[in-house]
Structures are given as structure tokens and as C-alpha cells.
Amino acid sequence: MLQQKQADAAVIGAGIVGLATAYHLALQGRKVVVFERTGRALGASVRNFGLVWTIGQKPGTVYERALYGRSIWKEIAAQTGLACAETGSLHLAYHADEQAVIEEFAQTANVHCHLLTPAEAAQKSSAFKQGGLKAALWSPMEMTVNPREASAVIAAWLEKAKGVTFRFGTAVNGIQMPHIETREEKWKVDQVFVCSGADFETLYPRHFSAAPITKCKLQMLRTVPQPHNWQLGPALSTGLSLIHYASFAHCKTLAPLRARIEKDFPQYVQYGIHLLVSQNGAGELSIGDSHEYAPSVDPFDKEEINQLILQYLPNFLQVPTLQIQERWHGVYPKLTNGETDLVLEPEKGVTIVNGLGGAGMTLSFGLARDIVAKL
């Protein structure tokens, strides 16, 4: 006999999207239960750089959501002790075409950033090669959290401080509104939020297959802790990222840069490789990443991709050690229509929240705030 339980809202998935949704529901005083299939979150939310990457976001609503998310991460860090470093970021320009893009961006984008000369950039970080640097784009807004810790810390905090109930190791295989049945319990709820990340197959598969969404596989590397408490400082990024992030898309100077990268780095374009380096609280550097899009993800990692990432590093990075201790891949859902989120109502009382692509750590809190406000 299943135990009968009741809540105002159920959230399926304890990745960052589910946690952000549970947080905003709890703020409204709702009784929330979160179901997570695995014993702890193991999806994209623990496999990323941990960057709250405001500078890469589309201007307008999306950028505002990023700033809001930043403020919530700071609040959570203050409440929980989660390491959250306000590192800022540097986009390094070693070519005239890269310099042209960051100059245009600094002049035209309505975001917190400005250009630095090579000497000024050197004041911010000793982790990049100074020889050949033409200019850098400095943004003070980016932050780094440790993704391996963040989901578990937030879940524990939501449970303790906000009264959210968690059911880890509990897959939800079907929803019959107003009920959700698991192996041991039957919950009656008013609202369900499906935050199932890259699992499009279990819940509402027909809605996912009809949506403009695919999966993106990313390969990542992590170094051993840097010695002697060496600090990276700002997260580092290069010209390859300028053609990756939507925020730079309006720059007229992007076309020649893209053309050069396509000519000189065809394999990087083929595998969607751009270079980001962040450092977590343990002193390790997270380095990545590649982007391979397909509805079914290849389980086998390509060593060729790892080598391409490693080969590019000496172009800009100088750090005490690049000894790699871990390699892994993550998968996130990616919208194919250029949008930044997928919010569907497959049946009354059920909301699918998905499609945040490579910006879930940055945008989940803002998106969840807006969805919950509309209820």
C-alpha cells in the first residue's frame, strides 16, 4: 500500500533548474517536494564550469535574469558558506580581428565591461601570456561556484531553511494529475514542474520530440589543484568564445573573425570548441569545452577533442601546472531556434522548464522567478 502524501507543488529533477524552481515556490510559501532519480544530482549541473557567466547572455530580459541569478547565488553563498568567488572575467584578444570585436562590444553593449590595455590586463591576472596580447575585455560580474558542491549544498539548504522535501533516488515515471506515484508514495499536488534536463524520453516525450530542442555533448578537463594556493583570478576566455556566445552576435566585426577561425581552426569549428578556464575552491582548473549536437549522445569521448583543447592552451594560458586529473563529458538540452528557454504546459497544472543550454547556472534563478511569478 503506497503512503499518501500531499504538497502544493512537485518539482522533478534536482539539477539547478529544479532547485531554482523549488526555491522560488518555497519563497511564495508553497509546500514543495522535489523528486530526483539519482542519489544526488549528477547531470549537467554538477559537470559544468560553475561560471555565472553574465557577459555571454543576450541583452534585455535574459541579461537581467543573469544579474538576478548572480544576486541569488551571492545570497545562497552567504547563507550556506558555498564558495562563490566574484572573479570577473577577461576575454583576451591576441589578433586584430579579436580586438575589433571586443572594442565594438565594449562600445555598443549595455553591460558592465570595459576594455583594458595589455598592461592593465596584467594587473588583473598573471595567468595569461602577455606577449602578443593586443587588448582585453574586462567584466567584473562573472562569478565561480564549485558545481560539484553547489547542487547538494542548495538542496540541503532548501530542506533545512525553506522546508522543501527531497526524495533522492526516486524516479518519476509518469504523472496522472493531480497525482504522482513513486515506488513507495503517492503524492497529491496542485502543480508539477518537470525540470528533467536532457531526459526527454521519460516524461512527456511527445512534447519534447515536437519541440525545437536537441542535446549537446561537451567534453571537459580538470587539472590537479594548482600548487601553493596559486590563484587564476578572473575566468579566462579567448577569441574562440566571441563567435560562441549570443551576446557578441550583434557585432559587425564578428564576420572577419569568424572567417579566420573557420579557415585556421576548422577542427575547432567542427567540434564547437571554445576555450574557457575557471578555478574552483579546491584550486583545480576546469578547462573546456566542445559542443557536439545530436538527439542521441555518443557515450565515447573523443581524445582528439581533448588534445585540441590542450593544444590551444599555450596560445594564451600560463599556469603552474596543466597536469590533468579528470576528463568527463556533460550533456545539456539545446534549443535549435535561438531561444534561451523552453517552457511548456503539456497538461493543466504541469509546466516543463528546460532548454537553458550552456547557461543554466547563470539563468535558472531568473527564469524560475518569472515562471513562478506568473502562477
Q: Which stretch binds ligand FAD (CB under 6 A): 35-43, 108-116, 251-259, 311-319?
A: 35-43
Is 128:26 a contact under the CB 8 Å cutoff?
Answer: no
133 contacts ligand FAD (rule: CB under 6 A): no
Check: CB of residue 203 under 8 Å from CB of residue 172.
Answer: yes
Cβ of residue 16: shortest distance to ligand FAD, in angstroms?
A: 5
Kindly state whether residue 51 participates in binding ligand FAD, applying the rule CB under 6 A.
yes
Contacts with ligand FAD, 220-259, as mask; x by CB under 6 A: x---------------------------------------
Task: List the one residue from 43, 225, 233, 272 that touches ligand FAD (CB under 6 A).
Answer: 43
Q: Which helix (H) or strand (E) holds 157?
A: helix 147-162
- Cα dist. 123→93, 99, 120, 356 in Å? 16, 19, 5, 34
Piece of the chain touching ligand FAD by CB under 6 A; list 199-207, 291-299, 319-327, 341-349: 199-207
Which of 259, 274, 338 is CA-nearest to residue 100?
Answer: 259
Least Å distance, CB 255 to ligand FAD, is 27
Contact window for ligand FAD (CB under 6 A) among 40-48, 73-81, 105-113, 307-315: 40-48
The answer to whether the beta carbons of residues 340 and 58 sit under 8 Å apart is: yes
Q: How far is the CB of 121 from ligand FAD (least distance, A)?
A: 21
Considering the rule CB under 6 A, would residue 330 count as an interface residue with ligand FAD?
yes
Toward ligand FAD, which CB reaches closer, 135 or 233?
Answer: 233
User: What CA–CA distance (Å, rounded) separates 306 from 302?
Assistant: 7
Exactly one of 24, 30, 47, 244 binds ligand FAD (CB under 6 A); that residue is 47
Among 12, 121, 133, 236, binds ligand FAD (CB under 6 A): 12
Using rule CB under 6 A, residue 202 touches ligand FAD: yes
| Secondary structure element (H or E) that encloses residue 7, with its range | strand 3-12
Strands 135-139 and 89-93: antiparallel
Give the separation between CA 14 and CA 169, rounded to whole angstroms. Answer: 11
Nearer to ligand FAD, 35 or 271 (CB): 35
Could you identify the residue written with the cell 512534447? 207
Nearest CB to ligand FAD, comparing residues 127 and 218: 218
The size of the interface with ligand FAD (CB under 6 A), counted in residues, is: 43
Which of residues 24, 362, 366, 371 is near ligand FAD by CB under 6 A? 362
Q: Which listed residue (7, 9, 18, 149) binds ligand FAD by CB under 6 A?
A: 18
Site for ligand FAD contains 291 (CB under 6 A): no
Residue in 23, 35, 193, 271 binding ligand FAD, rule: CB under 6 A: 35
CB of 134 to ligand FAD, least distance (A): 26
* CB-based contacts of 298-302 (< 8 A; 24+ apart in sequence): 298/217, 301/219, 301/327, 301/328, 301/329, 302/219, 302/271
Site for ligand FAD in 340-359 (CB under 6 A): 356, 358-359
Q: Work out how close the CB of 23 gets to ligand FAD at its nearest, in angstroms, rounded to a whole number.
A: 12
**What sign for the dihedral angle of Cα 24, 12, 79, 68?**
negative
Q: How far apart are CA 214 and CA 106, in angstroms?
A: 32
Binding residue for ligand FAD (CB under 6 A) from 93, 153, 155, 218? 218
Query: CA-CA distances (angstroms) from residue 284 to 232, 235, 326?
Result: 10, 13, 10
Alpha-carbon gap, residue 239 to 53, rounded angstroms: 16
Q: What CA–CA distance (Å, rounded) separates 356 from 354?
A: 6
DSSP 231: -
Q: Does 16 bind ligand FAD (CB under 6 A)?
A: yes
Residues in contact with ligand FAD by the rule CB under 6 A? 12-18, 35-38, 41-45, 47-51, 53, 171-172, 195-199, 202-203, 218, 220, 288-289, 330, 332, 356, 358-362
